[in-house]
A and B are shown apart, each in its own frame.
Chain A
Amino acid sequence: MQPAMGEQPDLFRLLVESVREYAIFLLDVEGHVRSWNAGAQRIKGYNASEIIGKHFSIFYPASELRRGKPEYELRVAIEEGRYEEEGWRVRSDGTRFWANVVITALRNRDGQLVGFAKVTRDLTERKQAEEERANLLIMERAARADAEGTLARLRSIQQVTEAALAHLNLDDLLRELLERIGDILAVDVVSVLLTDPDGRSLVPEAVRGLADDVPLAVRIPIGHGIVGQIPASRQGIIFNDLSMVRDSDPLLSRAGLNSLLGAPLGVERRVFGVLLIGTRRHRRFVETDLGFLQIMADRVALAIDRSRLYEAEQAARREAAQAGYAIRQRDAFLSVAAHELKTPVTSLCGLSEWLLRMSERGIPIDAGRHDRALTMMHRQAQNLSRLVTQLLEMTRLDADRLSLDRQDENLTELVRRSVDQAQTQTTEHQLILSAAPNVHAAVDAFRFEQVITNLLDNAIKYSPEGGPIEIELRQPRPERVRITVRDYGIGIPAGQEARIFERFFQAHRDSHRSGLGLGLYLSRRIVGEHGGRLTAESARGGGSRFIVDVPVASAVTAEGMVHA
């Protein structure tokens, strides 16, 4: 500025000296205070006589002095003409204030440095206000984060609760719960372990996030180890560094977990499992995390409890339904059995009463009819006996297996005997046997004859129009024997070829006297016990074909008990 008037420098000095808002003063080239104004006195607390001649470093905090801040500022002002900053300065009473500082290098006309002008403003209030605002902002952000966190957690809990209510089946329920919890908590592994029925150990029930090759067939004794102590103490655990224990635990080491959080699963005072979450990277779980996991665990526990109640109820219902079915089946069977027993009894009663009447009345019966009546009575008595045997056998079969007495038998002879016997019962059917000679096999002769007789009886019974019944005995391979019984009767209703072997099953229940529904069931079991198979098929051209396929030797031949 060019002094244009004589009084101007004085005016200027007055202006500077009287400014109170700014500390404006001069430093010499070394930095000693050369002038002072009212603002400087107000802001820094020194009066002119105290400070003039002192080095300006007196205004700096010790930490800045150690870093050589005053010298640095002068150097910058010399090099760049000006230095400006905001920073902490010290008043004469030692208190600090936040200052805006501008140092300007003063040079004469030759450009030689003659000193520095220093202008300082006290911005402490503004700084405090700023800091306060910043603090408020931080607090507000924290509060918002807190609120958002709480909301997120509430939402998570709601999600878990929804998942917990969505399924009644335990497997579905756990799969969904583990998935949600894994996502919500951003963990690698989530697992539910349940106490086994004896209450001594924990068994993994569901796991999410483990590779398929991690073995799950582990049992963790309750009261032992990190996880085992959770149900025992009913307390959750936080494990932020598993590296020490991991090596001794195959599951943890295979899972590669580093941090683990576990909470007991229980309803009221009943603890029945553990909810575990784990991460592969190190994570610092804190009490809040555990608290949150426990909230989840309580929901999971309620859901498991509910699911178990539901499944128990379903099982009870199924059992009741099965019992009901068994009772109905037994009732139906008893009614059939009564009917079957009444048929031979009707003939026996009728014929014997007739013989008695004739004898009482003194009416002679010719020898042929007399014999015929006795023959029929005898056969009906045999039928009755066979039915009673079947009934007894059925009750015995309910309890245990058939015991076979297998001996080397000439099957050709055995089958021929059965065929001859069956032929005596009918004149309307022609039983035609085609058998390879002297086929031998290790069979229980009594049981095997039962099978053949049963198949022949069926063939006769279900060919009400009479006709041929063809029986074949073959040895297709040295170690197998095949017996086929083929009739031209009413056949097997379509689609029931397998069902006819069920106990009590009667293919022609409504239209035909079908027997007890035991014959084929028993026959198949007998053939099965011989290591063979009994099958049925509808034959082309009508009627049906039953095939017995048995091994020549029994499985015990190797032990030398049976020699076929």
Chain B
Amino acid sequence: MTGTPRLLVIDDDPTIREMLEMVLDSEGYEVVTAPHGMAAFAVLDQVRPHVIILDMKMPIMDGWGFLERYRRRPGARVPVVVLTAAQDDARRASEVGADAYVAKPFAIDDLIRVLDRCMTVSSSLA
């Protein structure tokens, strides 16, 4: 992997999007955000993230809708970390192809650890 690791954060709550931007920027990530799955697909090819951070309950296209469509997409896929407040969402997310799960609220170190692990997978894919 060369250059700065890039993340695509998909969450409908603007405060959480901005908070994740601040936190992860300070940790050396480049962060792009989208308010729902549909908006994420619009920027996906342009951003070419190494890891996707995904909320589940969103308008327009929710986490499940995003995962389903993302899985069917041709070409290489990057790891998806589900970041959700509901326990059963995490279980269902893994069933539809999420790679990791972090519960809201989270400790920054926990999130970084999961992201680092995914990053390793992602770079081996690249």
Q: Which residues of A contact B (CB under 8 A)?
A: 335, 338-339, 342-351, 353-354, 357-358, 363, 369, 372-373, 376, 379-380, 462, 464, 490, 508, 510-513
Please give, as numbers and ranges, the residues of chain B lying within 8 Å of A351 by CB-CB distance. Answer: 19, 22-23
Given B22, B57, B59, B62, which contacts A490 in the complex, CB threshold below 8 Å?
B59
Q: Contacts A346-B85, A350-B105, A363-B26 hold; do A510 and B62 have CB atoms under 8 A apart?
A: yes
CA gap between A354 and B86 in the complex, in Å: 23
In angstroms, how far is the closest chain A Cβ from the Cβ of B111?
A: 9
In angstroms, how far is the closest chain B Cβ from the Cβ of A512?
A: 4
A349 contacts B85, C-beta separation under 8 Å: no
Taking A339-B57, A342-B105 as given, write out 9 further A-B residue pairs in contact, using a Cβ cutoff of 8 Å, ordered by the A residue number.
A343-B85, A346-B85, A347-B16, A349-B106, A349-B107, A350-B16, A351-B23, A380-B15, A464-B12
A346 contacts B105, C-beta separation under 8 Å: yes
Q: Is the interface of B mostly helix, strand, loop or mixed?
A: loop
**Closest A residue, CB atoms, query B83:** A346
CA gap between A351 and B36 in the complex, in Å: 22
Looking at B23, B85, B108, the one whose CB has the most chain A CB atoms below 10 A away is B85
A512 contacts B12, C-beta separation under 8 Å: yes
Please give, as numbers and ranges, the residues of chain B lying within 8 Å of A349 by CB-CB distance. Answer: 105-107
A-B contact pairs, 9 of them (CB 8 A): A339-B86, A346-B19, A351-B22, A353-B107, A353-B108, A369-B22, A373-B19, A373-B22, A464-B12
Contact with A along B90-107 (1 / 0, CB 8 A): 000000000000001111
**Closest B residue, CB atoms, query A361:** B26
Instruction: Say if the beta carbon of B20 comes within 8 Å of chain A.
Output: yes
A464 contacts B35, C-beta separation under 8 Å: yes
CA gap between A464 and B19 in the complex, in Å: 19
Given A335, A346, A462, which contacts B16 in the complex, CB threshold below 8 Å?
A346
Please give, as numbers and ranges, the residues of chain A lying within 8 Å of B86 by CB-CB distance. Answer: 335, 338-339
Please give, as numbers and ranges, the residues of chain B lying within 8 Å of A357 by CB-CB distance. Answer: 26, 108
Please give, as numbers and ranges, the residues of chain B lying within 8 Å of A353 by CB-CB distance. Answer: 23, 107-108
B57 contacts A350, C-beta separation under 8 Å: no
Q: Which of B9-65 contact A (CB under 8 A)?
A: 12-13, 15-16, 18-20, 22-23, 26, 35-36, 57-60, 62
Q: Contacts A511-B57, A513-B57 hold; do A347 and B19 have CB atoms under 8 A apart?
A: yes
Please give, as numbers and ranges, the residues of chain B lying within 8 Å of A372 by CB-CB distance. Answer: 18, 22
B26 contacts A354, C-beta separation under 8 Å: yes
Looking at A379, A464, A511, A512, the one whose CB has the most chain B CB atoms below 10 A away is A511
CA gap between A351 and B60 in the complex, in Å: 27
> Which 10 pairs between the two chains have the least Cβ-Cβ distance?
A342-B85, A349-B105, A346-B105, A346-B104, A512-B59, A350-B19, A347-B15, A339-B85, A464-B59, A354-B23
CA gap between A168 and B71 in the complex, in Å: 58
CA gap between A350 and B12 in the complex, in Å: 16
CA gap between A348 and B95 in the complex, in Å: 30
Given B35, B58, B85, B108, which contacts A350 in the complex, CB threshold below 8 Å?
B108
A508 contacts B59, C-beta separation under 8 Å: yes
Please give, as numbers and ranges, the residues of chain A lying within 8 Å of B105 by CB-CB distance. Answer: 342, 345-346, 348-350
A376 contacts B12, C-beta separation under 8 Å: no
CA gap between A354 and B111 in the complex, in Å: 12
Please give, as numbers and ranges, the residues of chain A lying within 8 Å of B104 by CB-CB distance. Answer: 342-343, 345-346
Q: Contacts A350-B108, A464-B59, A513-B13 hold; do A338 and B85 have CB atoms under 8 A apart?
A: yes
Please give, as numbers and ranges, the residues of chain B lying within 8 Å of A369 by CB-CB distance. Answer: 22
Please give, as numbers and ranges, the residues of chain A lying within 8 Å of B107 by CB-CB distance. Answer: 349, 353
Given A345, A363, A373, A512, which contacts B57 in the complex, CB threshold below 8 Å?
A512
CA gap between A358 and B106 in the complex, in Å: 17
In angstroms, how far is the closest chain B Cβ from the Cβ of A466?
A: 10
Please give, as numbers and ranges, the residues of chain B lying within 8 Å of A345 by CB-CB distance. Answer: 104-105
**Closest A residue, CB atoms, query B103:** A342
CA gap between A349 and B105 in the complex, in Å: 7
CA gap between A345 and B85 in the complex, in Å: 10
Given A376, A462, A513, which contacts B19 in the complex, CB threshold below 8 Å?
A376
B13 contacts A350, C-beta separation under 8 Å: no
**Closest B residue, CB atoms, query A357:** B108
Q: Contacts A358-B26, A373-B22 hold; do A343 and B16 have CB atoms under 8 A apart?
A: yes
In angstroms, how far is the closest chain B Cβ from the Cβ of A89?
A: 116
